[in-house]
Amino acid sequence: MMSRFYLALILLVCATNSFAQKSKFNDGWLFKADTANSLNEKALQAKPWRPVALPHDWSIEQPFDGNSPSGNRGAALRGGLGMYQKEFILNNADKNKRIFIVFDGVYMNSTVWINGHKLGTRPFGYISFEYELTPHLKFNGQKNTLLVRAENKQPNSRWYSGSGIYRNVWLDRRGNTFVKNWGTYISTPQVSRHSALVNIETKIVDANNQQTELQTTIYDKNGKAIKTLVQALAVNSGEQSVLQQVTLANPDLWSVETPNLYTAVSRVLVNGKEQHRYTTSFGVRHFYFDQQKGFFLNDKPVKIIGACMHHDLGALGAAINVRAMERQLQILKGMGLNGIRTSHNPPAPELLDLCDKMGFIVMNETFDVWSRDKENTPYNYSLYFKEWHEKDLTDHILRDRNHPSVFMWSVGNEIPEQQGGKDTVGRNITRALVNIVKRLDNRPVTAGMNYTQNDNNLYLSGALDILGINYHHKQWEDLGKNLFPGNKPYILAENTSALATRGHYDMPSDSIRRWAGIKDITKTGNPDYTMSAYENASAPWASTNEEALKLFLKYPYLSGMYLWTGFDYLGEPTPYPFPARSSYFGIVDIAGFPKDSYYLYKSVFTKENVLHVLPHWNWTPGQVIDVHVYFNNADEVELFVNNQSVGKKSKQADDLFVRFNGLKFEPGELKAVSRKNGNVVMQTVKRTAGKAYRLVAAVDRNTINADHEDLPFVKISVVDKDGNLVPDANNTLRYRVQGTGKIRALDNGYQADLEPYSNTSYRKAYNGLGLAIIQASGQKGKISLQVSSEGLQPSTVTIDVK
Torsional class of 375: left (φ above 0), alpha (ψ -120 to 50), beta (otherwise): left
Residue closer to ligand GAL, measured from CB, 400 or 572: 572
Which one among 108, 265, 542, 682 touches ligand GAL, defined by CB under 6 A? 542
List, in order, residues 6 or more apart from 167 with CB less than 8 Å away: 55, 103, 104, 105, 106, 128, 320, 348
Q: How far is the CB of 311 from ligand GAL (least distance, A)?
A: 13
Read off the amino acid at residue 280: T
Residue 419 found at the interface with ligand GAL (CB under 6 A)? no
**What is the end-to-end Cα distance of the chain in Å, rounded?**
20
Which one among 212, 366, 413, 430 touches ligand GAL, defined by CB under 6 A? 413
The number of CA neighbours under 13 Å toward the Cβ of 48 is 2
Q: How far is the CB of 526 from ligand GAL (least distance, A)?
A: 19
Binding map of ligand GAL across residues 496-535, x = CB under 6 A, - = no contact: -x--------------------------------------
Q: CA-CA distance, 792 to 693, in Å (whole number)? A: 5
Which one among 220, 312, 400, 414 touches ligand GAL, defined by CB under 6 A? 414
Our CA angle for 584, 351, 132, nearest 5°, is 125
Q: How far is the CB of 668 from ligand GAL (least distance, A)?
A: 40
Contact between 627 and 606 under an 8 Å Cβ cutoff? The reply is no
Residue closer to ligand GAL, measured from CB, 539 or 797: 539
Q: How far is the CB of 588 from ligand GAL (least distance, A)?
A: 16
Report the residue count for the chain.
Answer: 802
414 is catalytic: yes
How many positions of this chain bind ligand GAL (CB under 6 A)?
11
Which one among 160, 289, 564, 605 touches ligand GAL, defined by CB under 6 A? 564
Residue closer to ligand GAL, measured from CB, 81 or 580: 580
Q: How far is the CB of 516 from ligand GAL (least distance, A)?
A: 9
Residue closer to ligand GAL, measured from CB, 501 or 618: 501
Our CA angle for 435, 440, 445, nearest 5°, is 55
Residue closer to ligand GAL, measured from CB, 374 or 694: 374
Q: CA-CA distance, 177 to 720, in Å (whole number)? A: 67
Contact between 554 and 474 under an 8 Å Cβ cutoff? The reply is no
Q: Which of 587, 787, 800 lies closest to 698 in space, CA to CA?
A: 787
Q: What is the CA radius of gyration of the chain?
A: 27
Residue closer to ligand GAL, measured from CB, 255 or 413: 413
Q: Is the peptide bond before 579 cis (omega within 30 degrees of 0)?
A: yes
315 pairs with which residues across the strands? none
Contact between 206 and 226 under an 8 Å Cβ cutoff? The reply is no
Residue 539 found at the interface with ligand GAL (CB under 6 A)? yes
Q: CA-CA distance, 98 to 172, in Å (whole number)? A: 8
Residue closer to ligand GAL, measured from CB, 196 or 539: 539
Q: How far is the CB of 450 from ligand GAL (least distance, A)?
A: 6
Q: CA-CA distance, 583 to 585, in Å (whole number)? A: 6
Catalytic residue among 151, 414, 546, 638: 414
755 is catalytic: no
Q: How far is the CB of 565 from ligand GAL (least distance, A)?
A: 8
Residue 720 found at the interface with ligand GAL (CB under 6 A)? no
Residue closer to ligand GAL, measured from CB, 312 or 494: 494
List, in order, residues 6 or more apart from 27 with CB less than 8 Å away: 53, 54
Q: How far is the CB of 538 from ligand GAL (least distance, A)?
A: 9
Cβ-closest position to ligand GAL: 497
Where does 377-485 show beta strands of DSSP type E? 406-413, 445-449, 467-470
Contact between 800 and 702 under an 8 Å Cβ cutoff? The reply is yes
Q: How far is the CB of 470 from ligand GAL (least distance, A)?
A: 6
Q: CA-CA distance, 601 to 500, in Å (whole number)? A: 15
Residue closer to ligand GAL, measured from CB, 220 or 494: 494
* Site for ligand GAL, residues 435 to 454, rule: CB under 6 A: 450
CA dist list (Å): 558 to 66, 294, 471: 42, 6, 13
Residue closer to ligand GAL, measured from CB, 86 or 513: 513
* Site for ligand GAL, residues 149 to 188, rule: CB under 6 A: 158
Torsional class of 776: left (φ above 0), alpha (ψ -120 to 50), beta (otherwise): beta
Q: CA-CA distance, 464 to 430, in Å (whole number)? A: 8
* Site for ligand GAL, residues 461 to 500, rule: CB under 6 A: 470, 494, 497
Q: How far is the CB of 499 from ligand GAL (least distance, A)?
A: 9
Catalytic residue among 494, 535, 572, 638: 494
Which residue ranges make up the site for ligand GAL (CB under 6 A)? 158, 413-414, 450, 470, 494, 497, 539, 542, 564, 572
Query: Which residue numbers are catalytic?
Result: 414, 494
